[in-house]
Chain A
Amino acid sequence: MARLQRELIPAPEFKSNRFGARVLRDFKLNRTVYLMLLPVVLYYLIFQYGPMYGLQIAFKDYIPAKGFAGSPWVGLKHFQEFFESYYFWRLLGNTMLLSFYSLIFFFPAGIVLALLLNEVANPKFKRAVQTITYMPHFISLVVIVGMMVDFLSSNGLINNLLVSVFGIEPIPFMRTPGWFRTLFIGSELWQNLGWSSIIFLAAISNIDPALYEAARIDGANRFKQALHITFPGILPTVTILLILFIGRFMTVGAEKILLMYNPVTYETADVIQTYVYRKGILQADFSYSAAIGLFNAAISFALLILANTIARRVGETKLW
């Protein structure tokens, strides 16, 4: 009973000099909760903040025997080397272009699909379409890219169809730099278009039905209802997802690129994160690749803050 009362009655206000007492009281009351949180906090300290601590090697020449802290400082040497390297602009350009294409082709497609699904009157048909289009989201990238390699090979399904319909020479899709971005975004649409519509559909279902009622009485047709009620209704969701998207702008599906690309297509396919993988893991150039990774993470973070600030100024929707 005493426990219950402590839970229910709000804690009395303590003056700031009683902070220690407050901490002590809180710990006594919640020690089981803190015991539960301990493994989670430890996980974050070790596996999330540990690597952040390790980022200092970007400013050092990492020597494995001396560890993160013991390696000698070299200042901005690695950053300078990267900015002056032949690959810098190519990597930055490829990363941003790929993200930009997925922003203009992939991101709006999910909204459009949600709006169209919302207009499907038959609930069973709607559900069937949803079940089918969500499905590829759960297929592994290895299988997706494996299927692409197979279908797009010179005697694969796509080329066979192209050859028999248009009578052209087979196109070596996976080995042509000019095709890489199209294939990347196209396969992304195939795999995740349905999945990306879920959240917009959920936002649509939260719109007050009375609004549609009123619009119908005012004589608005379905197109006008979609334009003036549904779309504004999901706008806050769109804004939040847009901010999050911009925060991930520099982390375009590197795992998928690693599976898709080959030295012939590096020209358009190589992005900052895949380069970090090759330099760091394959060539063991740890400090240099950590510096590139930090550069990438810093841009991401700056973009996120920028996007959030703009959203704050423009409307009331924001991440924080």
Chain B
Amino acid sequence: MRRSWGERSFDAGNIAFMLALSLITLYPLVFVLFSSLSDPAEVVRNRGLLLYPKGFNLDAYRLVFDNPNIKTAYLNTLIYVVCGTTVNLVMTSLGAYGLSRRNVLWKNAIMFMIVFTMFFEGGLIPLYLLVGNLGMLDTRLALILPTAVSAFNLIIMRTAFQGVPVSLEESARLDGAGDWTILFRVVLPLSLPVVAVMVLFYGVYHWNSWFPAMIYLQTRELLPLQLILREILIANDTSSMMGNVPSGDEMPVGETIKYATIMVATLPILFLYPFLQKYFVKGVMIGAIKE
């Protein structure tokens, strides 16, 4: 197709804009990566952009991986991600299955009860007091049970389940299958893309979550990685990291430790995400449009 001069210059400008946007999005992360790999003294001396690591040095990563605080916190985060996401998936699948059936009398009432909580909620203080009254303060349960289902994700999954052809379910019933069999052998296997999106959404939520841990947990041994990160990055307290660094080197190494910690805490997610990206559009679309 022939394109006018105006269209071609628009295309060129558009591509330049996309390139600039991608660069702005990527560069902060690249800067952190390069800094984390650089010689600490060079990082402190450096004034401006980094285009490559200056003086390759892995000490910061060694300190991060040797640090008992980070190790415990990393393990805790893994526990919260695995247990939390498992509870989320079980609850969301059960709810989505029940609410996607036809001929269930109380379906709409239950659906209304769930959707209503998306628009009005009790809020932070009553929830905090409730968690306390249930005796869950300072326990791991406080990070898992209060967020066991997300109404938004439940709706996404219900819509996906409604898309499973009825004929498959009917033939399973002819073979004597009950609801449990239909859920696990028919509906879930046919909805794997949406299950993948759920694993990503819930898993990333637990990985990145810090606020519930801050208000519910006190014991240091229970804290997830994000709270330790907060100490290091925002309260700017790298002292807990400085096990056996000669005192003169503390300041420069403190800088690269920050960058190395960011990398260690972020890379697992950034590696996981491109593989699941193709399912997003579907998931996000269903969730926002079908209320």
Chain A residues near B (Cβ < 8 Å): 1, 3-4, 7-8, 10-11, 22-23, 26-27, 29-30, 32-34, 36-37, 39-41, 43-44, 46-55, 57, 62, 64, 67-68, 113, 116-117, 119-121, 125, 128-136, 138-143, 145-147, 149-151, 157, 160-161, 163-164, 190, 193-194, 198-199, 201-203, 205, 221-223, 237, 240-241, 244, 247, 255, 258-259, 273, 276-277, 280-281, 286, 289-290, 293-294, 296-297, 300-301, 304, 319-320
Instruction: Find out whether the CB atom of A47 lies under 8 angstroms from the CB atom of B130.
Output: yes
Chain B's closest residue to A160 (CB) is: B47
With A138-B269, A140-B265 as given contacts, are A290 and B25 in contact (CB-CB < 8 Å)? Answer: no
A317 to B244, CA, bound (A): 63
Chain B's closest residue to A318 (CB) is: B291
A273: chain B residues within 8 A (beta carbon): 124
Instruction: Find out whether the CB atom of B270 lies under 8 angstroms from the CB atom of A247.
Output: no
Instruction: Find out whether the CB atom of B117 lies under 8 angstroms from the CB atom of A48.
Output: yes
With A3-B173, A280-B128 as given contacts, are A164 and B48 in contact (CB-CB < 8 Å)? Answer: yes
A49: chain B residues within 8 A (beta carbon): 113, 117, 122
A87 to chain B, nearest CB (A): 17
Check if B192 is an interface residue, CB within 8 A of chain A.
no
| Interchain CB contact (< 8 A) of B284 among A39, A50, A202 | A202
Chain B's closest residue to A203 (CB) is: B285
A3 to B103, CA, bound (A): 13
A255: chain B residues within 8 A (beta carbon): 210-211
Instruction: Find out whether the CB atom of A44 lies under 8 angstroms from the CB atom of B117.
Output: yes
Instruction: Find out whether the CB atom of B269 lies under 8 angstroms from the CB atom of A293.
Output: no
B208: chain A residues within 8 A (beta carbon): 138-142
With A119-B10, A140-B207 as given contacts, are A33 and B179 in contact (CB-CB < 8 Å)? Answer: yes
B277: chain A residues within 8 A (beta carbon): 130-131, 134
B98: chain A residues within 8 A (beta carbon): 33-34, 36-37, 40
A–B complex contacts, Cβ < 8 Å, 27 sampled: A32-B180, A33-B101, A33-B179, A37-B99, A40-B95, A40-B149, A41-B113, A46-B130, A48-B121, A49-B113, A51-B122, A52-B120, A52-B126, A54-B122, A54-B129, A128-B22, A140-B207, A141-B210, A143-B266, A147-B28, A157-B49, A160-B48, A190-B24, A255-B211, A277-B215, A290-B125, A297-B120
A4: chain B residues within 8 A (beta carbon): 170, 173-174
Check if B143 is an interface residue, CB within 8 A of chain A.
no
A231 to B198, CA, bound (A): 30
Instruction: Find out whether the CB atom of B130 lies under 8 angstroms from the CB atom of A8.
Output: no
Check if B243 is an interface residue, CB within 8 A of chain A.
no
Check if B236 is an interface residue, CB within 8 A of chain A.
yes
Chain B residues near A (Cβ < 8 Å): 4, 6-7, 10-11, 14-15, 17-18, 21-22, 24-26, 28-29, 31-32, 47-49, 91, 94-95, 97-99, 101-106, 110, 113-114, 117, 119-130, 133, 145-146, 148-149, 154, 170, 173-174, 178-180, 183, 204, 207-208, 210-211, 215, 226-227, 229-230, 232-234, 236, 258, 262, 265-266, 269-270, 273-274, 277, 280-281, 284-285, 288-289, 291
Instruction: Find out whether the CB atom of A33 lies under 8 angstroms from the CB atom of B288.
Output: no
B136 to chain A, nearest CB (A): 11
B232: chain A residues within 8 A (beta carbon): 146
| Interchain CB contact (< 8 A) of B125 among A29, A150, A289 | A289
Instruction: Find out whether the CB atom of A43 lies under 8 angstroms from the CB atom of B148.
Output: yes
| Interchain CB contact (< 8 A) of A43 among B24, B91, B124 | B91
A33 to B122, CA, bound (A): 28
A258: chain B residues within 8 A (beta carbon): 211
A237: chain B residues within 8 A (beta carbon): 288-289
Instruction: Find out whether the CB atom of B266 lies under 8 angstroms from the CB atom of A140.
Output: yes
Instruction: Find out whether the CB atom of A281 lies under 8 angstroms from the CB atom of B128.
Output: yes
A281 to B131, CA, bound (A): 13
A205: chain B residues within 8 A (beta carbon): 281
B215: chain A residues within 8 A (beta carbon): 277, 281
Instruction: Find out whether the CB atom of B124 lies under 8 angstroms from the CB atom of A277.
Output: yes
A81 to chain B, nearest CB (A): 15
Instruction: Find out whether the CB atom of A54 lies under 8 angstroms from the CB atom of B266.
Output: no
A120: chain B residues within 8 A (beta carbon): 14-15, 18
B227: chain A residues within 8 A (beta carbon): 142
With A8-B170, A131-B274 as given contacts, are A33 and B133 in contact (CB-CB < 8 Å)? Answer: no
A33 to B102, CA, bound (A): 11
B270: chain A residues within 8 A (beta carbon): 135, 138-139
| Interchain CB contact (< 8 A) of B32 among A29, A141, A147, A149 | A147
Given contacts A202-B285, A300-B120, 11 further A-B pairs with CB under 8 A are A10-B103, A36-B98, A40-B154, A44-B113, A49-B122, A51-B130, A55-B123, A140-B207, A140-B266, A143-B229, A222-B10
| Interchain CB contact (< 8 A) of B119 among A27, A276, A301 | A301
Most buried by B among A142, A240, A276: A142
B47 to chain A, nearest CB (A): 4
B31 to chain A, nearest CB (A): 7
B133: chain A residues within 8 A (beta carbon): 67
B145: chain A residues within 8 A (beta carbon): 43, 47
